[in-house]
Amino acid sequence: MKENKAYNSKKLDKNSVLPIYYQLAKIIEKKIVDGILKPGEKLSPEHELASRYNISRMTVRKALQELAKVNMIYTEKGKGTFVSKPRLENTVFELKDFHDEIKKMGMEPRTKLLGVEIIKADKNLAKKLNLEINTRLVYFRLLISAEGEPLLYENKYIVYSKKMPILESELKDPSLTNLATQHGNYFPTMSKRILNAAVANSKEAEILEIKKNSPVFVVEQYLYDNEKKPIGWGKSVCRGDRFKFTSYIGWTMDSILE
Amino acid sequence: MKENKAYNSKKLDKNSVLPIYYQLAKIIEKKIVDGILKPGEKLSPEHELASRYNISRMTVRKALQELAKVNMIYTEKGKGTFVSKPRLENTVFELKDFHDEIKKMGMEPRTKLLGVEIIKADKNLAKKLNLEINTRLVYFRLLISAEGEPLLYENKYIVYSKKMPILESELKDPSLTNLATQHGNYFPTMSKRILNAAVANSKEAEILEIKKNSPVFVVEQYLYDNEKKPIGWGKSVCRGDRFKFTSYIGWTMDSILE
DNA sequence: GAGTGGTCTAGACCACGCG
DNA sequence: GCGTGGTCTAGACCACTCA
């Protein structure tokens, strides 16, 4: 095709505070966003970019790496580097610890411990945690509120392994990971979460002070140790009228180097 | 502290098919997972790792980069490299195009076009798309099903800018991005999505063949061009009994080099 | 076999954090 | 001032792809 007339190359300022690889990445990004380089098209080979801009190939690679990190380009070994098709549908919704989520919303979360007890696993829990029936578990019931309004009702079960008082400080971080670390001998290394849409049942509605059958998010969390053995399970019911998940995705590189 | 007795260093196999940086990353990962290196602790400086393992510093950096990519370590300029605290609550839920989601579930999606028309923006749409009232929009109504069962009801609005017939092939990818690319003169570069929990209203319930007030996910999507001007908006209602979002997070590096 | 990206080296200079 | 990570160079060899 040879549509690269090359001498339209913007210059790199080697004395700039901005790293050269960043400047180059920006130049290529602009060509893509402006449509000079179209999705599917092949970029010039690395060695050619290196000689064209009078920089080392490693620096070119660093620039391309940044663009690859945000999915604007991809490489195929032995073939070349290509412009990706924009896939603005591939978004991710972040869900951090709910305490953090609430802080992010600009409020101060408060945790109320509704109950803690040692229980024996029933059939259902035994199955979820892949344990024998009657294995002892620590069972937490928590209510998280902000500004006097209940937001979140949580039930968490941790495999019991050591006696530990409930510390006031724990309520500052009632995440499953933290509870398991405090109340179990296991070191959690893996976690699985499932997000469901549901409606509040009578009990949940009462606790959350919403109407029965109001929409809620239900987040289940499984926690595993480094041998993939389950060590905890939790279920959080969040008010649908107070939580939503937002995600942004951009066909730009703005995320890097903020 | 000097707890690095150093000569416990596992050896690197320079003739292995596995890259050296990957072998080193795995060695360090193991030290972290085994608790030899604890969260918050400082790693040996890069130059020290380089000389200890008889490799170049650039290779050490590549190894550390891989670990940083999965948040096991982080660097602080001028200070050093440190082991992160495990944050198993910081998960992300992926939501690709619904067509892809359905395929991922092992089913073959079918899209039915319930209607297309050119409409004029009312007050509500004008506000959402930041346009004048009465601006012309293309309005799509879609129903996506799999195995004879309706799963998803979508309403999408694209800023009208060129006449285009509705192509059969479009229904293979009825994503907002694709529709906007086909039916607008704008090149979408940014997208925002909002995920809500809700209950189906009468109309949605009828179309999705579920009971009124059943739980549903509602995904709103805004699409912008490279000047951040809105060019499309959509609302997808998904059956809560058929969709859930799952996410895994692991304190390991297994994702790299698949 | 020619062209490509993936890995690696052995140096170098810099800006930053801290005492 | 010293130690640290961040950037950069000018080479090298390899494995892969495709004609």
Nucleotides of D under 7 A from a protein CB: 3-12, 15-18
Residue B218's pLDDT is 96
How many CB atoms are closer than 10 A to CB A143?
Answer: 16
Of B188, B198, B244, the CB nearest to A86: B188
For every residue of chain B, DSSP letters joined together read -----STTPPPP-TTSSS-HHHHHHHHHHHHHHTTSS-TTPBPPPHHHHHHHHT--HHHHHHHHHHHHHTTSEEEETTTEEEEPPP-TT-EEEEE--HHHHHHHTT--EEEEEEEEEEEE--HHHHHHHT--TT-EEEEEEEEEEETTEEEEEEEEEEE--S--PPPGGGGG---HHHHHHHH-S--EEEEEEEEEEEE--HHHHHHHTS-TT-EEEEEEEEEEETTS-EEEEEEEEEETTT--EEEEEESS-TTTT-
Residues of chain A in contact with residue B195, where contact means CB-CB under 8 angstroms, are 93, 244-247
Stretch B179-204: mean pLDDT: 85
The overall average pLDDT reported for chain A is 85
* Residue from B152, B252, B165 nearest B210 by CA: B152
Which residue among A58, A190, A194 places its CB closest to the CB of B244? A194
CA atoms within 13 A on the CB side of B230: 20
Which amino acid is present at B106?
A: G
Q: How far is CA B29 from CA A28, A151, B18, B63, B82, in A?
A: 34, 38, 16, 10, 12
Res A127 pLDDT > 60: yes
Q: How confident is the model at residue B3 (pLDDT cuts 50, 70, 90)?
A: very low
Beta carbons of A197 and B197 less than 8 Å apart: yes
Q: Work out the pLDDT band at B5, boundaries 50, 70, 90.
A: very low
Of A60-74, B49-63, B114-128, B185-199, minimum mean pLDDT range: B185-199
Q: Is residue A143 part of a domain?
A: yes
Q: Is residue B55 located within the same domain as residue B126?
A: no
Q: What does the pLDDT read at residue A90?
A: 77
Q: Is the pLDDT of residue B61 over 90?
A: yes
Residue B17 has pLDDT above 50, yes or no: yes
3-state secondary structure B122-149: CHHHHHHHCCCCCCEEEEEEEEEEECCE
Per-residue pLDDT at B168: 63
**Quick check: A12 pLDDT over 60?**
yes
Residues of chain B contacting A200 with CB distance shorter than 8 Å: none
Q: Which of residues 159-218 of B touch A (CB under 8 A)?
A: 175-177, 187-199, 213-217
Residue B12: band (very low, low, confident or very high) from pLDDT cuts 50, 70, 90: confident
Tell me whether residue A119 is in a domain. yes
Q: How far apart are CA B251 and CA A43, in angstroms?
A: 36
Same-domain pairing of A108 and A189: yes
CA distance B44 to B60: 11
Residue carrying structure tokens 């998010």 = A217
Over residues B28-49, the mean pLDDT reads 91
Q: Which stretch of A250-254, B85-89, B209-213, B220-224 has the lowest confidence by average pLDDT?
A: A250-254
pLDDT of res. A170: 66
Angstrom distance (rounded) from CA A241 to CA A239: 5
Task: Determine, yes or no, domain membership for A248.
Answer: no
Q: Lowest mean pLDDT: which of A152-156, B26-30, B91-95?
A: B91-95
Residues B127 and B190 placed together within one structural domain of the fold = yes
Same domain, B69 and B130: no
A135 and A43 co-located in one domain: no
pLDDT of residue A246: 85
Does A44 have pLDDT greater than 60? yes
Q: Do A245 and B188 touch (CB under 8 A)?
A: no
The residue behind tokens 């000047």 is: B227
Tokens of A144: 């998280």
**Cβ contacts of A44 within 8 Å, gap of 6 or more:** A4, A52
Q: Which of A71-80, A92-101, A188-197 has the lowest mean pLDDT?
A: A92-101
| More confident call, A45 vs A178 | A45
B147 shares a domain with B23: no
Residue B1 has pLDDT above 60, yes or no: no
In this prediction, residue B166 carries a pLDDT of 64
Spatial CA neighbour of B19 closest among B52, B51, B66 = B66
> What confidence tier does B254 reach under pLDDT thresholds 50, 70, 90?
low
Full domain range(s) for residue A60: 5-83
> What is the pLDDT of chain B when averaged over all its residues?
85
Q: At what angle do helices A57-69 and A46-53 cross, to 10 degrees?
A: 120
B2 has a pLDDT exceeding 60? no
Please state the domain count of chain B. 2
Residues A138 and A199 in one domain: yes
Beta partners for residue A246, in sequence order: B194
Q: Which helix (H) or strand (E) holds A91?
A: strand A91-95
* Domain shared by A136 and A12, yes or no: no
pLDDT-derived band at A9, boundaries 50, 70, 90: low
Tell me the range of A29-33, A83-87, B88-92 where mean pLDDT is highest: A29-33
Please state whether beta strands B245-250 and A188-199 pair in parallel, antiparallel, or not at all (unpaired): antiparallel
How many percent of chain A have pLDDT more than 90? Answer: 49
Which residue does chain A place closest to B94, by CA atoms?
A92
Determine the distance between B78 (CA) and D1 (C1') in angstroms: 14
Rounded Cα–Cα distance for residues A61 and A73 (Å):
12
User: B192–A248: do the CB atoms touch at under 8 Å?
Assistant: yes
Distance in angstroms (rounded) separating the CA atoms of residues A84 and A38: 8
pLDDT above 90 covers a percentage of chain B that reads 48
The rounded distance, in Å, linking the Cα atoms of B195 and B99 is 17
Please answer yes or no on whether A188 and B93 come within 8 Å at the CB atom: no
Q: Which residues in chain B touch residue A32, judged by CB atoms under 8 angstroms apart?
A: none
CATH number at residue A173: 3.40.1410.10
pLDDT of residue A62: 97
**Nucleic acid strand C: bases within 7 A of protein CB:** 3-12, 15-18
Residue where a domain terminates, one of B83, B118, B152: B83
B74 in contact with nucleic chain D (CB within 7 A): no
Q: How confident is the model at residue B160 (pLDDT cuts 50, 70, 90)?
A: confident
Q: Is residue A251 part of a domain?
A: no
Other beta carbons less than 10 A from residue B75's beta carbon: 15
Lookup result for tokens 């069972």: A139
Residue B130 lies in a domain: yes
Claim to verify: residue B78 and residue B140 sit in the same structural domain: no
Query: Does one domain contain both B211 and B108?
Result: yes
pLDDT at A199: 96
The answer to whether position A89 is within a domain reads no
C-alpha closest to that of B71 among B32, B99, B97: B32
What was the pLDDT predicted at B7? Answer: 43
| CATH code assigned at B27 | 1.10.10.10
On whether residue B254 sits in a domain, the answer given is: no
Q: What is the crossing angle of helices B20-33 and B57-69, to 10°?
A: 50
φ, ψ (nearest 5 deg) of residue A168: -55, -40
Q: Are residues A225 and A174 in the same domain?
A: yes
In this structure, the answer to whether residues B173 and B214 fall within a common structural domain is: yes
> What's the predicted TM-score (pTM) here?
0.78
Contacts of A194 in chain B (CB under 8 A): 244-247
B258 occurs within a structural domain: no
| Span A216-240, average pLDDT | 91
Q: How confident is the model at residue B144 (pLDDT cuts 50, 70, 90)?
A: very high
Q: Which of B88, B217, B255 to mutate to test the interface with A (most CBs of A within 10 A)?
A: B88
